[in-house]
Amino acid sequence: MRIGVLDTWLPRRYQPFWLPFLRELGAELVAPERPFAEAVAFEAPEVGKSARAVLGRLAELKERGVDRVLFPDVQLGVEAERGSGACPWVRDLAAVAPLYLPGLPPLIAVPGELGEGTLSRAAAVGAELTEHPPKVRLALERTRALVAPPGPFRPAWAAKEGALGLAAPPYLLEEERLYPELREALSPLGLTLADRPPAELRAEGDRLGLRLKLPTDLEWAGAAHALARRHDVRAVVLLYEPECPGSARVARWVAERLPKPAVIATLADDPGEVARRAKMALGEN
């Protein structure tokens, strides 16, 4: 069996277990090979670039004849239309994808993060793929130690301490290939991220009382607030994709709760202009 795997949509959070597990079951894993820019160019202007990248990767895997595709549920089973959930591609991309890609191979839906429920889902997936219980049990025994919740996102470009925090929905923030020009423009200002695990950021976001439900919205809000509470951070950039009006509302709600100045920006904004506004928020000329 040939199973396609993605290189975007938060792969670091679930693949460290799922890829070895599927290999233990005897699956051939097929990863994307085409340039990332080609995936982002997928024709779906009403969805954000992060989701377009996924659709582009799925189109490639479909063309390469995979039998199934491993697909993460980044919302961890939560369905809600408040906030970014007003946009179907944020709320449930797995349900949206077949509308753009008729004939898409079946998606193997798995939790978008490793943790409680991973092994039970793996047992069900293994039974479905192999119909050979001893093989599934052996695969689980060999890989169960790999089930660990994801830690903080720590890219090399983020300063450990800095004056300017950056917060965005995690599926956007962790896809660094979507905003290199913005990073280049903001890095001289001391660009830093919330250095805490996703689960902790979601808990902080929930405590803000914004009645957000989607895990990605909660994490985004929690990251912004965690940054604003740090002594070294003087302002926070709230970045989102303009194709989702619901995310614009979340950005405004979060900005109102921060104890530091906020700069609301979209992925489509001119990086130089965002940097100019960020300097003003930092009190620099």
In order of their start, the domains of the chain are 2-146 (3.40.50), 164-282 (3.40.50)
pLDDT tier at 214 (50, 70, 90 boundaries)?
very high
**What strand order describes the sheet that includes 107-111?**
28-30, 2-4, 68-73, 107-111
Model confidence pLDDT, tens digit, residues 232-274: 999 999 999 999 999 999 999 999 999 999 999 999 999 999 9
Confidence class for position 13, pLDDT limits 50, 70, 90: very high
Q: Can you give the pLDDT at residue 163? A: 97
Q: What is the rounded CA–CA span in Å between residue 111 and residue 121?
A: 8
Q: What is the mean pLDDT of residues 150-161?
A: 97
How much is the pLDDT for 17?
98
Q: How far apart are CA 44 and CA 219, in angstroms?
A: 26
- What pLDDT sits at residue 249? 98
> In terms of Cα–Cα distance, which of 65, 63, 38, 62 is closest to 49?
38
C-alpha closest to that of 122 among 161, 29, 133 = 133
Tokens found for residue 137: 């049990």
